[in-house]
Structure 1
Amino acid sequence: MAIPRFAVLAHPVAHSLSPRIHASFGRQMSIALDYSAIDATAEEFGNALGAFAASGGVGANITLPHKQRAAAACDTLSERARRAGAANTLTRGATGWHGDNTDGVGLVRDLTGRHALDLRARRTLLIGAGGAARGVAPALLDAGIGDLFIVNRTPERADALADALEQPGRVHPRYLDDLKALGEFDLIVNATSAAREGAMPALPMSLAGARTAAVDLSYGEVAIPFLAWARAAGAHDAIDGLGMLVEQAAESFALWHGARPDTDPVFAELREHRAALVTAD
């Protein structure tokens, strides 16, 4: 019997921990799988996904910068992916790809479980309006946060995400220039790839306070600038996206294999691996 093929599609993809995570899940659950990484630019994405399917691929994780593109490539979408307008988990069926989005539930599981945060009624700032932001915004609203303010380098995209969320009295698009006047937030989520591109926007210290939880959806070096700002601004919590990555991967694994793995040992393994790399440097 052929071992089922899975992959993560991104650009760049060399840094991705997804192959390592899914290999760990497979060993834990005694499930044989082949999980690879495929580097595809925006122009190459459609052909790369088609070639993967033609080679026997049955499941794919999608990350930057392709999540909205992936949703458009699917024949069917889950309610989560439809609400987000973005897909990070694709499953191959008889009629084509089915898209889902596990980012939001992964983030909420990490924050409320691993970090024991109560998200209810938290005044929230979401920085970014691309595929990552679209993936987590609906789940944060469902988790009971208070007002959600969305800022983005391109104001039109913030407006579009706010419109898509369909909660005008609770969701407020703003401009980056408005940040100084917005006051303090209980939860700040950085969902941009700006640090990866060396263009992290300047954030006023007034956004964070003694009870603020600051969360970067990225992990590793690209999360450092935002988390450093959060600590300097006095935020109570500064959390990177490693836990979310593991939790959303576990949701994807469950969709594909019908069983959800234990995420704690895999998260601990990745933290130890990262600490060893820092020590080696």
Structure 2
Amino acid sequence: MTESHHAVFGHPIAHSLSPRIHARFGRQTGVALRFEAIDATPDTFASALDAFAAAGGSGASVTLPLKEAALALCADASDRARRAGAVNTLVRDGGHWRGDNTDGVGLVRDLTGRHGLDLRQRRTLLLGAGGAAHGVAPALIDAGIGDLFIVNRTSARADALVDKLGLPKHVHSRYLEDLAALGEFDLVINATSAARAPAAGEAGSGLPTLPTSLVGARTACVDLSYGEVAIPFLAWARAAGAHHAIDGVGMLVEQAAEAFKLWHGIRPYTDEAYAALRERDALLVTGD
């Protein structure tokens, strides 16, 4: 059986659970694959991806901070990737890369299927306006959420995402200092990398101060990250009395399953991989 070669690119990347998830998917489906983690910065990503392709790489996942850069390296991209302006899944196609974005569908599958949330008409706050936020915002809108407020440290980036989504009556850009006046939300999503330890040369600013007035008795708070990076936001959510405090492990597994289907033509079951990750590392347990 021929072994396919895959990788996840990001910076930093040593913490990534993707190799473990895809190895489990491969065993479940009988697909022979090799999956590695490759550290690449925005400056080195293009050359690292070229080297991976030259070594026989046939598909790749892309994580922070490379999702927007990945789109520029694609000869073709799916509608959802172009709509998001970011790529998290690369498929080798005739000597070129074809891009897709499975983040949004992965998040919605996790929230509605695994956690049983009805997203329709939920007043939603999205913290962050980078590649992760671009990836999930269109899918949240398609899932029927109510008004969406986007807040980012750099307001111009939030404005750009609002403009890209093209729904001025339902999608709004706000400043961090506006948070206390925004009232209660049904859904609060942290799409920032603020709590991630900064790499060499990066400035670390930490999770912004979030008022507890954002959270009500039925609010679901979701961090798109997982493990130690997600702890500050989830701790704030629990202290504020959120009904759900959910990390990004479920989304990670669901978006990985979508990527696996793009590469191999079969979508694996995800409950087994999700349960295995929860069982292995107590830090990953949510307060849902």
Give the letter for the 1:263 counterpart.
T
Q: Identify the residue that residue 157 of structure 1 maps to in structure 2.
A: 157
TM-score (norm 1): 0.97
Give the letter for the 1:171 counterpart.
V
Counterpart of 1:172 in 2: which secondary structure? strand
For residues 66-145 of structure 1, the aligned pairs below 5 Å read: 66-145=66-145
Q: Identify the residue that residue 234 of structure 1 maps to in structure 2.
A: 241
Conserved? CA contact 1:6–1:57, under 8 Å: yes
Q: 1:9-64, CA deviations, whole angstroms, 9 ceiling, x for partnerless residues?
A: 00111000000000000000011001111011111111001110111100000000
Counterpart of 1:173 in 2: which secondary structure? strand
Conserved? CA contact 1:75–1:95, under 8 Å: no
CA distance in structure 2 between the aligned counterparts of 1:165 and 1:184, rounded to whole angstroms: 23
Unaligned 5+ runs, structure 2: 197-203
Q: Identify the residue that residue 28 of structure 1 maps to in structure 2.
A: 28
1:217 pairs, out of 213, 221, 224, with: 224
Indicate yes or no: 2:213 matched with 1:206: yes
Q: CA deviation at 1:240?
A: 0.2
CA distance in structure 1 between the aligned counterparts of 2:234 and 2:167, rounded to whole angstroms: 29
CA distance in structure 2 between the aligned counterparts of 1:4 and 1:221, rounded to whole angstroms: 31
Q: CA deviation at 1:72?
A: 0.8
Q: Identify the residue that residue 43 of structure 1 maps to in structure 2.
A: 43
Give the letter for the 1:190 counterpart.
N
Conserved? CA contact 1:80–1:101, under 8 Å: yes
CA distance in structure 1 between the aligned counterparts of 2:283 and 2:209, rounded to whole angstroms: 31
CA distance in structure 1 between the aligned counterparts of 2:106 and 2:157, rounded to whole angstroms: 23
Counterpart of 1:48 in 2: which secondary structure? helix
Unaligned 5+ runs, structure 1: none
CA distance in structure 1 between the aligned counterparts of 2:278 and 2:194, rounded to whole angstroms: 24
Conserved? CA contact 2:86–2:134, under 8 Å: yes
CA distance in structure 2 between the aligned counterparts of 1:150 and 1:173, rounded to whole angstroms: 5
Identity %: 71
Q: CA deviation at 1:231?
A: 0.7
Conserved? CA contact 1:7–1:19, under 8 Å: yes
Indicate yes or no: 2:250 matched with 1:246: no
Q: For structure 1, which segment, 191-200 or 45-54, has the greater mean C-alpha deviation from structure 2 after superposition?
A: 191-200
Counterpart of 2:216 in 1: which secondary structure? coil
Q: For structure 1, which segment, 139-148 or 194-203, has the greater mean C-alpha deviation from structure 2 after superposition?
A: 194-203
Q: CA deviation at 1:275?
A: 2.3
CA distance in structure 2 between the aligned counterparts of 1:45 and 1:258, rounded to whole angstroms: 27
Conserved? CA contact 2:278–2:284, under 8 Å: no
Q: Identify the residue that residue 60 of structure 2 maps to in structure 1.
A: 60
Indicate yes or no: 2:287 matched with 1:271: no
Give the letter for the 1:214 counterpart.
C
CA distance in structure 1 between the aligned counterparts of 2:244 and 2:99, rounded to whole angstroms: 33
Give the letter for the 1:208 counterpart.
V
Counterpart of 1:169 in 2: which secondary structure? coil
**Structure 1 residue ranges, 4+ long, deviating more than 6 angstroms after superposition:** none
CA distance in structure 1 between the aligned counterparts of 2:138 and 2:144, rounded to whole angstroms: 10
Q: CA deviation at 1:198?
A: 5.1
Going from structure 1 to structure 2, the CA distance change for 1:150 and 1:233 (only over 3 Å counts) comes to: same
Conserved? CA contact 2:228–2:283, under 8 Å: no
CA distance in structure 2 between the aligned counterparts of 1:30 and 1:46, rounded to whole angstroms: 31
1:257 pairs, out of 254, 264, 277, with: 264
Calculate the aligned-residue CA RMSD, in Å: 1.2
Give the letter for the 1:33 counterpart.
L
Counterpart of 2:169 in 1: which secondary structure? coil
Q: CA deviation at 1:135?
A: 0.2
CA distance in structure 2 between the aligned counterparts of 1:259 and 1:118, rounded to whole angstroms: 27
Conserved? CA contact 1:104–1:139, under 8 Å: yes
Conserved? CA contact 2:83–2:138, under 8 Å: yes
CA distance in structure 2 between the aligned counterparts of 1:106 and 1:277, rounded to whole angstroms: 18
Q: 1:123-171, CA deviations, whole angstroms, 9 ceiling, x for partnerless residues?
A: 0000000000000000000000000000000000000000000111110
